[in-house]
Structure 1
Amino acid sequence: MGIIKRYHLVVLCIALILSLAAYGCLDSPSGIDENTNQFVSTATPGTSAEVFLNDSSFARLELEIDYMPEHEPSQQALDSLKSFLQARVYKSEVVINTPTEVESGGGGTYSADEIRSFEEEYRDNYTDSRGNTLHAYFLITDGKFQEQDNVLGIAYFNTSMAFFGETVEEAASGIGAPPKEKIEGTVFQHEFGHILGLVGNGSPTQSDHKTAGSAHCTADGCLMEPSVETTDFFANLFDGSIPDLDAQCIADLQANGGK
């Protein structure tokens, strides 16, 4: 990854962190606000990593998916995500709900604020602190990310992720391009990695492998490499196989209660 592109990615990550800071701060490893006794779903990504990884608070994990017209996720990508989660989190059950089509946001580009507004409008399921199910959310849009148009996905809350369908389609088009389901599967897992606290952003690092200025892994070939969430990875480095987590990332998850 070039120095200029890496710089832009670092700036993007810093901007996202700053823009999200006002939306929630949570210190409790249970994910429950001690003042209200309610689970907080608007904290920063990685804040609830421990809750996702272990089964002490919620034994079941359920993912809700909304997608804008013509951007329904492939079943192969969802199956690979489920396998990834089953391999890394201690939950008695991991459920990925049937994706639901929602109205277009108008296409073009979408800001982080617009993404949050779409979630408020379309999301149905939130975690009840008295229940047994931890809820997560995907939104697949029909446009690009306003802050950086080669970004394929972002984790923007502690339970929420968004993906940019137009950018995914572009990465999957053209002669020799990787199939859409492989791109989706890779980016779905990468962004969920941020929800699980990688790298050093909720799941403390057990060794020195965090990139400077962003929550990504320095190990070549790791799922949490910074370029994986952009089209650069699929244009230049992708061999058709979804990358695995490096041993250092796995060690971080295991130390924080995961597998």
Structure 2
Amino acid sequence: MDIAKRYYFLAPLFAFVLSFTLHGCLDSSTGVDNNTNQFVSRAAPGASAKVFLEDSSFASLSVEIDYMPGHQPSQDALDSLKTFLQKRLHKSDITINTPTEVQSGGGGTYSANEIRSFEEKYRNNYTDSRNNTLHAYFLITDGKYQEQNNVLGIAYYNTSMAFFGSTIEEASSGLGAPPREKVEGTVFQHEFGHILGLVGNGTPTQSDHKTAGSAHCTADECLMKSTVETTDFFANLFDGSIPDLDPQCVTDLQANGGK
């Protein structure tokens, strides 16, 4: 697939990575480039929101998960992600595949470009517009995010998310820290929220609840609050329960084809 140009943007306090790819005539309702008749898996986060929310193009969703050594995700976190997706997506079948261990990237810190390179190396499944299954991808690394060390996860393509195992481990360690499965479950759902176009980036807002200059929610208790994807949230505000979407975010998803 030829990629004409990409733009990357990172704002303070959150790591929703906007990776804009020019594809000419991308149909947001199908995710298909009308020039090639192929599904585009390297568009910006939220560009395929309607495809994820509706079942008209793809009735099934499959999530592929790779992890670097020492950072296998907990089953409880994956179960909570599946429950979240079943609650919000019109899909007849949602499969969270058994996580696969891949080679370490060397630890330390990873840039967004390095994350994309890892995906090219390890990802096995891409969406084919001729089939009935939509594919998404998780990569759990053994390091931190180079651009902002307290970030737990990023959404960097319309079907792709990465999580930083060392930072998750840090957020779930120490006296009084939340269990790792709660940290993982929270950030998994938050980043998937960006894939679903929340807030106002692929799924239009039906009311004024978008933070200035970012794709996050202004409601303090919402899953899509900007601090949820950083260690700050778990150090200062986390009560042990994965936050729900604010009703305003739910209304946005429903207006764009979700539940």
- 2:139 aligned residue: 139
- Cα distance in 1 between the residues matched to 2:185 and 2:97: 16
Q: TM-score, normalised by structure 1?
A: 0.93
- Contact 2:55-2:90 at 8 Å conserved across structures: yes
- Contact 1:51-1:57 at 8 Å conserved across structures: yes
Q: Report the alpha carbon displacement of residue 29 of structure 1 after superposing the two structures with TM.
A: 1.9
- Contact 1:60-1:132 at 8 Å conserved across structures: yes
- 1:3 aligned residue: none
Pairs within 5 Å for 1:1-259: 8-9=12-13, 13=16, 16-17=17-18, 20-22=19-21, 26-259=26-259
Aligned alpha-carbon RMSD (Å): 1.2
Change (3 A) 1:23 1:179: farther
- Cα distance in 1 between the residues matched to 2:61 and 2:27: 21
Q: Secondary structure at the match of 1:154?
A: strand
Q: Which segments of 5 or more consecutive residues in structure 2 lack a partner in the other structure? A: 1-10
- Cα distance in 1 between the residues matched to 2:12 and 2:88: 30
Q: Between 21-30 and 111-120, report the one with greater CA deviation.
A: 21-30
- Cα distance in 1 between the residues matched to 2:48 and 2:161: 14
- Cα distance in 2 between the residues matched to 1:24 and 1:159: 16
- Contact 1:46-1:158 at 8 Å conserved across structures: yes
Q: Which amino acid aligns with 1:150?
A: N
- Contact 2:217-2:224 at 8 Å conserved across structures: yes
- Cα distance in 1 between the residues matched to 2:123 and 2:253: 28
Q: Which amino acid aligns with 2:57?
A: S
Q: Secondary structure at the match of 1:43?
A: coil
Equivalenced residues, count: 248
- Cα distance in 1 between the residues matched to 2:77 and 2:214: 26
Question: How many percent of aligned residue pairs carry the same amino acid?
Answer: 77
Which 4+ residue blocks in structure 1 deviate beyond 4 angstroms?
A: 22-25
Q: Which amino acid aligns with 2:62?
A: E
User: Greater helix share, 1 or 2?
Assistant: 1
Q: Report the alpha carbon displacement of residue 248 of structure 1 after superposing the two structures with TM.
A: 0.1
- Cα distance in 2 between the residues matched to 1:48 and 1:208: 22
- Cα distance in 2 between the residues matched to 1:219 and 1:173: 28
Q: Report the alpha carbon displacement of residue 8 of structure 1 after superposing the two structures with TM.
A: 2.0
- Cα distance in 1 between the residues matched to 2:12 and 2:190: 19
Q: Secondary structure at the match of 1:155?
A: strand
Q: TM-score, normalised by structure 2?
A: 0.93
- Cα distance in 2 between the residues matched to 1:74 and 1:150: 21
Q: Which amino acid aligns with 1:42?
A: R
- Cα distance in 1 between the residues matched to 2:22 and 2:242: 32
Q: Which segments of 5 or more consecutive residues in structure 1 lack a partner in the other structure? A: 1-6
CA offset digits 1:130-174 (Å, max 9, x no partner): 000000000000000000000000000000000000000000010
Q: Report the alpha carbon displacement of residue 28 of structure 1 after superposing the two structures with TM.
A: 3.3
